[in-house]
Amino acid sequence: MIVLLGLLLPLATFAQQAVCPTIWNRGAPYFCTEREVQNGALGNGTYNKLVPPVEKFRVPVDVKMGLNVYKLVNLDIQAAQIDLSVWIRLSWTDKRLAWDTNTYNVSQTSYYASNSNEESVIWVPDLEMYNQERSVYECADKQAMVYPSGFVFWSRPCIVSALCSFNELSKMPFDKTSCEMEFGGWSRSGWDVYYIEADPPISFAQESSSLTTYQEYSLDEGSSTATTIVYTYPCCPNEPWPVIQYVIGFERATNYYVLKIIVPNILFTFLSFAPFWVDVRSGERLSFGITILLAMVAVDIIAADLLPICPEYLFIEALVGGSILFAFLSLVESCFVVYWYYKNEHEAEENVAVNSINSAAMAIASALHLKGKGSKDTAEGSGGNSETPITSSAHSRPSTHFDPSDDPGGGAHVDDSNTDMFLDCDEGPDVPPPPTAVRPSLTTMGSLRKRFKRSFTNKNAKENRKVYLRERNLNEANVLTGHRVDRASRWAFVVLYILFLTVMFATIPLWE
């Protein structure tokens, strides 16, 4: 097939040369006439595609530029970059390409135009986008239509990639951002080529395939404008450099941010106030508040991937940060109430325990002291009657047992059934007494028990009661104070947070 086409092309060229007369006449075929027009403009050797069609010194060629926005391809907030599918339309007048319609009955013709000087047949403006991420020279090359007056219209599709400075991002996600794109000449100043806006300077495609659906951003036709700005540079301060600045507006789909970030944070913040209605003794108050705070932090981490890193404060960041602050203060208030609630309860228990231990120690010391004194008195009283037989038996010896639980006031009780712990604690191993030992009588032991109980109960138990009652009253006062703090905090936090939300949403238009 390729070989066949290679053979047919030379034959077609030969047939055209055979059909078209050597000397052109009006009866020649139409394609012969158009060829004559192009040969007349380009074939005489006077046309230079590197030189713009400037007729007089410092009388530049006016190049009109129009931009037809076809579709939004991509918008990256983090990278500050957009990709747009556009049709770049340029028009100018080149008198070197004009022809006389009375001589040549041709309404229009076309020339291959390209930004590459090697491939282009005619002169084209060296248009470039200043804030480019990808050069306009990479756009597709298309034919340029030329009319008898020399008017040239060159339209070509292109994917322009621009580095933007997005405006009004501080209102995110209720913002309508925009991107500025600047187009101008690269090597020819305004003395040779002057860029102006076409009529209309910017338009939007109406084809059904150009509709933007299921995307975060959509084109905002009402806020898109085009203006001409003239720059001067230090290299050539007397030369104007006209630039056409296009401002393309975009609308954000706010539903995603509202449903995924704003509403969950507001609900989580109100849930963080729920512990104010929970009894401190339930044990779940602090854990619930910590869980809510961690959930809000998790949502904030997920939302961070959708937000740009910038020095400005964004609306959504202020709202999320304020909600987390309220949840944190709610947790701090719960910690304070729990501490205040149990502040003196543990201290009271510890004081009672310490006083009980001290009382037991004092009782033991008193028992040891009274035991020694009672044994001496008994021995002296029975020493004069040497005829009384004394029977020694380890199992018949009474013992003293200290039981603090028997005393209602935290005192002690002496059990006569076991006194070995007190009577023999200094004697080493428990061995039967020698035959000559003197054993105290039951009357003496009963007197010892009564004197011990009286000294322990009257002194230590009363102290324990006083400490316990004092600490219990103080603890009840702390509990009442904690409930009052909870009651005041629950509504104060709710009212303040509602006021915070009202101020945030009311000042959206003022965010910059």
* 432-449 pLDDT per residue, tens: 555 444 444 545 555 655
> 98 and 238: one domain?
yes
Q: What six digits make up the tokens of 126? A: 């060296």
Confidence of residue 282 (pLDDT cuts 50, 70, 90): confident
- The residue range of the domain holding 274 is 257-341
> 63 and 143: one domain?
yes
Burial class (CB in 10 A: 0-12, 13-18, 19+), 272: buried
Name the strand (E) or helix (H) holding 214.
none
Q: For residue 125, what is the DSSP state?
A: -
> 52 and 109: one domain?
yes
Higher pLDDT, 484 or 92: 92
The torsion of the CA quartet 380, 386, 388, 393, rounded to 10 degrees, works out to 70
Smallest CA-to-CA distance from 433 within 423, 441, 443 is with 423
The Cα 168–Cα 174 span in angstroms is: 9
CB-based contact 202:64 (threshold 8 Å): no
Q: Residue 226's CB: how many other CB atoms inside 10 A?
A: 19
**What is the CATH number for 117?**
2.70.170.10
Looking at the chain, the whole-number percentage of residues with pLDDT higher than 90 is 28
pLDDT at 303: 85
Confidence of residue 193 (pLDDT cuts 50, 70, 90): very high
- 399 is a domain residue: no
Our count of domains for the chain comes to 2
CB-based contact 502:496 (threshold 8 Å): no
> 201 and 312: one domain?
no
> 191 and 307: one domain?
no
> 92 and 226: one domain?
yes
pLDDT above 80: residue 223: yes
- 511 is a domain residue: no
> 61 and 182: one domain?
yes
> 241 and 263: one domain?
no
Domain boundary among 253, 288, 317: 253
335 to each of 169, 270, 291, 338, how far by Cα in Å?
A: 38, 18, 14, 5
Q: Residue 144's CB: how many other CB atoms inside 10 A?
A: 26
- 56 is a domain residue: yes
294 to each of 285, 297, 326, 496, how far by Cα in Å?
A: 15, 5, 13, 22
User: Alpha helices, DSSP H only, in 246-314?
Assistant: 255-257, 263-272, 285-304
Mean pLDDT lowest among 363-367, 369-373, 407-411, 451-455: 407-411
> 221 and 274: one domain?
no
pLDDT at 384: 45
- 123 is a domain residue: yes
**What is the CATH number for 272?**
1.20.58.390
Confidence of residue 510 (pLDDT cuts 50, 70, 90): confident
> 223 and 140: one domain?
yes
- 471 is a domain residue: no
Looking at the chain, the whole-number percentage of residues with pLDDT higher than 70 is 66
Query: Interior CA angle at 311 toward 310 and 314, to 5°?
Result: 75
Domain boundary among 341, 360, 388: 341
What value does the mean pLDDT take over residues 226-242?
88
> 193 and 335: one domain?
no
- 89 is a domain residue: yes
Q: To the nearest whole number, what is the mean pLDDT of the chain?
A: 76
CB-based contact 140:156 (threshold 8 Å): yes
Domain boundary among 227, 253, 279: 253
- 80 is a domain residue: yes
- 374 is a domain residue: no
CB-based contact 160:181 (threshold 8 Å): yes
Smallest CA-to-CA distance from 269 within 490, 492, 494, 491 is with 494
Confidence of residue 26 (pLDDT cuts 50, 70, 90): low
> 122 and 221: one domain?
yes
